[in-house]
A = this chain, B = another copy of it.
Amino acid sequence: MIRIGIYGLGKISRRVIQGVLSSNNACLYAVCSSSIEKANIFKKEYQAEKAYDNYERMLEDRNLDLVYICTPNYLHTKHIQIALSYRKHVVCEKPMCVSTKELNDCFDYAKRQNCFLMEAHKTVFTPLNQKLFEMISNEEFGEIKSIDAQYATRLTEQISDWHFSRPGSGCMFDIGVYPICYANRMAKSSIFRVSRFQDEALIEYENGCVAHIATSWDVDMENTAHIYGTKGSVSCKNFWKNTEAAVNGSKITVVQESDFTGEIEHACTCIENGMIESPVMSRKASLEILKVIGV
């Protein structure tokens, strides 16, 4: 069992913790926030072994294997590097870094420290999307020619200031990374070229597939992903967490406890096998996402 410490106890951390609690090779070991009161509430609520109000104190804990970073985007690089300096494995919420340079620096450092590092993109690890990827790999839809994925929602609730004003802010870095990551995965190819106009992008892959991704905080969209192949197609609403999709017009369903479990189990399996990089959510995969965002 990989012992996980969560750093940053905002909204997303509760969902990550559910994923940890549902996984078969990870346990929630510690929680850490600048507020010890908050950390203690989480410790009690989720029965973690430790609560910390200081990041480095948590990292000094020899029982901790992996830090899952849930802090604001602009702090990710700093927090990854501190964790790596303590030789802890790291999974970091998306966007892991806000520039190609930062991203390469982090992966280079992880390699030197012989630590596992992965950007947390649950979308590619949900049971449904793993199944769809397998079907695509088996050419069940023929050649994939076109992908369209969007995640847009009109902002009705307050979100933090850093979503608007810090490096790694803006819609594309927030809900936009879901369709990007999904399209890049399902296309099964490297990016050949990309055009980004505002919060939409058109991507052409080296294998000839073309993807369109759209995101917005100004409008509500259908938030459906479409994959079009020469022999069939997939349609899936809320593709980043869904357990059912229309495959050639017929519904398929999968079992899923938490949409984060697949990602966490994958990271832990990699670590158990002595890997320092995921073969799925690799450095290259993270770089390809930044290529679409254009940073």
- Chain A residues with a Cβ under 8 A of chain B: 143, 145-146, 148, 150, 152, 154, 193, 195, 197-204, 208, 210, 212, 214, 216, 218-222, 226, 228-230, 233, 235
Would you call B154 and A214 a contact (CB within 8 A)? no
Choose among B150, B152, B228 the residue that contacts A221 (Cβ–Cβ < 8 A). Answer: B228
Given A198-B210, A202-B201, do A221 and B154 touch, yes or no (CB 8 Å)? no
Q: Chain A binding site: helix, strand, loop or mixed by DSSP? A: strand
Which residues in B have their C-beta under 8 angstroms from that of A150? 148
The 10 closest A-B pairs by CB, nearest first: A195-B195, A197-B204, A202-B202, A219-B228, A212-B212, A200-B210, A145-B219, A197-B210, A198-B210, A145-B218
A208 CB to nearest chain B CB (Å): 7
Q: Can you give 23 contacting A-B residue pairs, CB < 8 Å?
A: A145-B216, A145-B218, A145-B219, A146-B152, A148-B212, A152-B228, A154-B230, A197-B202, A197-B203, A197-B204, A198-B204, A198-B208, A199-B210, A200-B202, A200-B212, A201-B202, A210-B214, A212-B214, A216-B228, A219-B229, A220-B233, A221-B228, A221-B233
Which residues in B have their C-beta under 8 angstroms from that of A222? 226, 235
Bound Cα distance A210, B196 (Å): 10
A154 CB to nearest chain B CB (Å): 7
Would you call B202 and A218 a contact (CB within 8 A)? no
- 12 other A-B residue contacts (CB within 8 Å) besides A145-B216, A146-B214, A148-B214: A143-B218, A146-B216, A148-B148, A152-B228, A193-B197, A197-B204, A198-B208, A202-B202, A212-B214, A219-B230, A219-B233, A222-B226
A202 CB to nearest chain B CB (Å): 4
Bound Cα distance A220, B145 (Å): 10
Would you call A230 and B218 a contact (CB within 8 A)? yes
Residue of B nearest to A150 (CB): B148
Residue of B nearest to A226 (CB): B222
Which residues in B have their C-beta under 8 angstroms from that of A216? 145-146, 228
A143 CB to nearest chain B CB (Å): 8
Which residues in B have their C-beta under 8 angstroms from that of A235? 222
Bound Cα distance A199, B222 (Å): 23
Bound Cα distance A195, B198 (Å): 13
Choose among B148, B195, B198 the residue that contacts A197 (Cβ–Cβ < 8 A). Answer: B195
Bound Cα distance A195, B197 (Å): 9
A140 CB to nearest chain B CB (Å): 14
Bound Cα distance A153, B57 (Å): 60
Bound Cα distance A61, B265 (Å): 79
Which residues in B have their C-beta under 8 angstroms from that of A148? 148, 150, 212, 214
Bound Cα distance A202, B222 (Å): 18
A180 CB to nearest chain B CB (Å): 14
